[in-house]
Amino acid sequence: LASTAITCFTRGLDLRKETEDVLCPANCPLWQFYVFGDGVYASLSSICGAAIHSGVITSAGGAVRVQTLPGQENYPAVNANGIQSQVLARWASSFSVTGIKNTALEAIGRSVSTARPSTGKRPKKLLDKKAGNKDCKADIAFLIDGSYNIGQRRFNLQKNFVGKVAMMLGIGTEGPHVGVVQASEYPKIEFYLKNFTAAKEVLFAIKELGFRGGNSNTGKALKHTAQKFFSSESGARKGIPKIIVVFLDGWPSDDIEEAGIVAREFGVNVFIVSVAKPTTEELGMVQDIGFVDKAVCRNNGFFSYQMPTWFGTTKYVKPLVQKLCSHEQMLCSKTCYNSVNIGFLIDGSSSIGDSNFRLVLEFISNVAKAFEISDIGSKIAAVQFTYDQRTEFSFTDYTTKEKVLSAIRNIRYMSGGTATGDAISFTTRNVFGPMKDSPNKNFLVVLTDGQSYDDVRGPAAAAQKAGITVFSVGVAWAPLDDLKDMASEPRESHTFFTREFTGLEQMVPDIIRGICKDFLESKQ
């Protein structure tokens, strides 16, 4: 079994198989690892980080066997081998890591990783022909029906139709990229976005697909595709719409609603092409008649498409291609991870002290880390306050995650009094003010450890009126009334408190979840 070369940041949830042999590179920066748990790690964790943490490999890298495990509650924080793992209340899946002693295997893995970079560089001359349709930049998964419902004969007609759509899209290095997943009893990713960038190769790959048969577990396949298909390792590109086109003959055998929710959370635009929809006599067998409306990106008519049969479908190709190339209609591309501006307002008063101030910065880093920070994505800003205010960096100063995290690390502790109200007004005006034309949703996270000397209610109300959602995070002596007065409605879910600064770490997932919940509700 050859091992796959992975990066320092590949997470457990990026892997496809139950058990997979991977090769970790050497010299990963230990402080950048995100690891949750000990022995059993939440699948959010970096695989190589977990492997070093558990002592399976050193920072020199090496081969690791990753075993997928069910989710659990209360992943513990343990410091081991130079890595501090973090607490996580619960996560949907986990993994464990074990060592592999097999030098031949490592050699195979190494040759893969060293051969990697050359694949992307084509000689310049050939690019123009191969660039494809630049006006239709999209990463598309065709989720085809391979169930007994459709049968072998119509399966072949479906392949012909998908092939025609793929040809008309104008696939190319600079244009759309496509992959195919087959839904039956279990989903199977037939090929990824990165496997072919020429239309002819794609067409050939579609022709070669074999019919699997089984129940039409479209929900299971849609969820799997939304979660696993669009990783950067598999060729998904930054800032380009992700689309799944679901082909369904008849109706799904499983529940598709939850899969639709997952796809929206992952920023994927789901289209459903339903063929031969259930007749009146068949409706009794359909577990959810509204299955199309529940799975599509938006129930506005744009994302659903009907064909009466698989015969004579040529006239349906062009209208579908036009939909897939309508960039501005892809309403689900925006997610809480890539479409928010988060400002942190940091109490720098003398009661906090140097070492606790470090814990505050760590908390901010861990929240910021969860978001996709870029010039077209989410943005982060920070202001420190005592009686005075200092903009540490504004939303437009840094457009990469590395630079933002490094700027947070370099914030110097001011030490002084506490005028939180003034600081909120300052931030609303000077930090959020210049962003008023930004399409992103605005959030302010206020961190304080004590009573404010001025009124917080007025400034917080003004910030909320300006479209900023406020989360208040109090530590130690911060009065609950102040925290609630600052927080957005419903106040209970926007107010956080911990006695000790070490308790901040456990709030990280809740703050991220709160931001995402507000974001989704604002989009409904």
What HEC string does 311-371 produce? CCCHHHHHHHHHHHCCHHHCCCCCCCCCCEEEEEEEECCCCCCHHHHHHHHHHHHHHHHCC
Residue 116 lies in a domain: no
Our count of domains for the chain comes to: 3
Helix/strand/coil for 142: strand
Residue 107's pLDDT is 41
Residues 160 and 295 in one domain: yes
Q: Which residue has the tokens 């600079």?
A: 174
Question: Which residue, among 176, 136, 140, has the nearest Cα to 325 in the 3D structure?
Answer: 136
* Residue 402 in domain: yes
Structure confidence at residue 124 as a pLDDT band (50, 70, 90): very low
Element of type H or E holding 224: helix 218-228
Directed axis angle between helix 354-369 and helix 504-523, to 10°? 40
Res 238 pLDDT > 50? yes
3 state DSSP class of 76: coil
Task: Look at residue 139 in the predicted model and tell me its pLDDT.
Answer: 96
The predicted pLDDT at position 108 comes to 42
pLDDT at residue number 164:
94
pLDDT attached to residue 44: 84
Instruction: Indicate whether 120 pLDDT > 80.
Output: no
Beta bridge partners of 246: 143, 272
> What are the tens digits of pLDDT across the range 45-62?
999 999 999 999 988 889
Q: Which pLDDT band holds residue 102 (cuts at 50, 70, 90)?
A: low
What residue type is 394 in one-letter code? S
Q: Are 456 and 485 in contact (CB under 8 A)?
A: yes
Same domain assignment for residues 320 and 173:
yes
| Cβ burial, residue 416 (10 Å; 0-12/13-18/19+) | middle
**Of 329, 350, 367, which residue constitutes the final position of a domain?**
329
Q: Which of 415, 378, 399, 271 is nearest to 330 (CA)?
A: 271
- Considering the domain architecture, whether residues 230 and 373 belong to the same structural domain is answered as no
Backbone phi and psi for residue 252, each to the nearest 5 degrees, phi listed first: -75, 150
**Would residue 151 count as lying in a domain?**
yes
Average pLDDT for 21-45:
85
500: domain CATH number is 3.40.50.410
Q: 323 and 453, same structural domain?
A: no
Averaged pLDDT for residues 178-195 = 94
Looking at the structure, tell me whether residues 292 and 150 fall in a common domain.
yes
Q: How confident is the model at residue 524 (pLDDT cuts 50, 70, 90)?
A: low
Residue 144 maps to a domain: yes
Q: How confident is the model at residue 103 (pLDDT cuts 50, 70, 90)?
A: very low
Q: Is position 515 within any domain? A: yes
- The pLDDT tens digits of the residues spanning 388-413 come to 999 999 999 999 999 999 999 999 99
Mean pLDDT of the chain: 88
The reply to whether 418 and 499 lie within a common domain is yes
Torsion of the alpha carbons at 510, 504, 92 and 23, rounded to the nearest 10: 130
**Strands 40-42 and 62-75, sheet pairing:** unpaired
Instruction: Name the domain boundary from 50, 79, 99.
Output: 99
Given a cut of 70, whether residue 110 has pLDDT beyond it is: no
Compute the distance between CA of residue 23 and CA of residue 25 in angstroms, rounded to an integer.
7
For residues 211 and 209, give the distance between their C-alpha atoms in angstroms, rounded to a whole number.
7
* Residue 32: predicted pLDDT: 66
- 144 in the same domain as 76: no
| Mean per-residue pLDDT, 432-443 | 92
Q: Quote the pLDDT of residue 523.
A: 73
Q: Choose the final residue of a domain: 48, 79, 99.
A: 99
pTM above 0.95, yes or no: no
For the cut 90, the answer to whether the pLDDT of residue 8 exceeds it is no
Tokens of 104: 């031949």
Say if residue 85's pLDDT is above 60.
yes
Rounded distance between C-alpha atoms, residue 363 and residue 464, angstroms:
23
Residue pointed to by tokens 């960039």: 327
- Residues 363 and 425 reside in one and the same domain: yes
The reported pLDDT for the residue numbered 436 is: 86
Give a yes or no: residue 104 inside a domain.
no
Residue type present at position 501 = F
Q: Which pLDDT belongs to residue 129? A: 55
Is residue 134 included in any domain, yes or no?
A: no
Report how far apart, in Å, the C-alpha atoms of 462 and of each of 415, 428, 456, 458, 485 are.
Answer: 27, 8, 10, 6, 12
pLDDT tens digits, residue range 447-495?
A: 999 999 999 999 999 999 999 999 999 999 999 999 999 999 999 999 9
Segments forming the whole domain that contains residue 239: 139-329
CATH code of the domain containing 59: 2.170.130.20
Residues 286 and 163 reside in one and the same domain: yes
Predicted local confidence at residue 512, as pLDDT? 93
φ, ψ for residue 93, nearest 5 deg? -150, 160
Residues 178 and 169: beta-carbon distance below 8 Å: yes
CB-CB contact of 450 with 347 (8 Å): yes
**Position 127 in a domain:** no
pLDDT of 195 higher than 60:
yes
Residues 203 and 163 in one domain: yes
Q: Give yes or no for a cis peptide into 490 (omega within 30° of 0).
A: yes
Name the maximum alpha-carbon separation found in the chain. Answer: 77
225 vs 284, which has greater pLDDT?
225
209 and 83 in one domain? no
Taking the CA atoms of 65, 66, 70 and 73 in sequence, report the sign of the dihedral they define.
positive
Assigned token pair, 336: 């809480």
212 and 178 in a common domain: yes
* pLDDT, tens digit (0-9, with 9 covering 90-100), for 311-364: 989 999 999 999 999 887 888 888 888 899 999 999 999 999 999 999 999 999
Q: Residue 359 burial by CB count (10 A; 0-12/13-18/19+): exposed, middle or buried?
A: middle
Among the listed ranges 143-147, 245-249, 297-301, which one has the minimum average pLDDT value? Answer: 297-301
